[in-house]
Every structure is written in C-alpha cells, then in structure tokens.
Amino acid sequence: MIVPAKSVAQQSLHEKFFSDLDGNKDGKIFKPELPQNLKRNFDRIDVDNNGYISIIEHVAFFSRNIDAHKKLTKDWSGFKIVRDISYVGEGHDRQSLDLALPIKRKSNTPLPVIAFIHGGAWRAGSKNGGLNQLYE
C-alpha cells in the first residue's frame, strides 16, 4: 500500500491518534479497542480484512479523509475562504476555524454569523466539512 507523503506534523498527529486508540500497544487496533463512535468505520479502514487496523491503514484512511474534506464541493466563487485560523494562541492544530467572507457586499452593515461546530471533542473527526454543510 502506498501512503501519500504528508507533513511531519500531520503524520505525527495521525500516529499519536493511532497510539491513543491502540489500548494494548501491540501496533494493531482491534474493533473492541475503538470507542463506539469509531467502530462503524472499522471495515472501511481495515482494507486487507485481516481483523485489525494497522498504522499504515490508519494513516492512509485519515490522510485521505482530511484531503477529501478540505475540498469545497459547492460553488464558493462569491466568497474569500480563509482556512485554519487559530483561536488558541499556541493551541492544537484542531483548535482553528475557517471563514467564508463575501467578496461583494451589498452594504456596510454588520453581517450575520453562522457557525458550524464540530462535536468531536478534539478527539475524532474534523471541522473540514463544515463549510459545505453550511452552504445550503
């Protein structure tokens, strides 16, 4: 299996997450080791169907998902998209937000703010699909 090259920070984030999930530290994640909310993805991640998730499968799955979620699937041509703005000085990479700012405003009055809050508790998933969910 070929794993796409990623930044060292991103790789270590995925590796740390793997280590956190690998309760007995045997280098394999078995379904019972996963929190309930992650068990539904087990079969998608275990691509060789050997009954456990390897570090290679884990990194490949989460790297692919991050790249897929960062792609905007709606027409955002009327907006300037600003990604990954940290809201905690020197916090975790996941403590960031994205903005969609209209390029042409009809007036100078303040605009409403619509917030998408990802409920992963900084443990699972990401905010990256939020803009597409707010589009509609």
Map out the domains of the chain as residue ranges: 8-70, 79-135
Question: pLDDT tier at 26 (50, 70, 90 boundaries)?
Answer: very high
In tens, the pLDDT along 62-87 reads 777 555 445 555 677 888 888 888 88
Closest CA to 18 of 57, 46, 69: 57
Q: What is the CATH architecture of 8-70? A: Orthogonal Bundle (1.10)
Q: φ, ψ for residue 59 (rounded to 5)?
A: -65, -40
Say what percent of the chain tops pLDDT 90. 13
Contact assessment for residue 12 and residue 63, using Cβ atoms and an 8 Å cutoff: no
Q: Burial of 35 by CB count in 10 Å (0-12 exposed, 13-18 middle, 19+ buried)?
A: exposed
In tens, the pLDDT along 101-125 reads 888 888 889 988 777 766 665 566 6
Q: Is the pTM of this model over 0.75?
A: no
Average pLDDT of span 88-97: 75
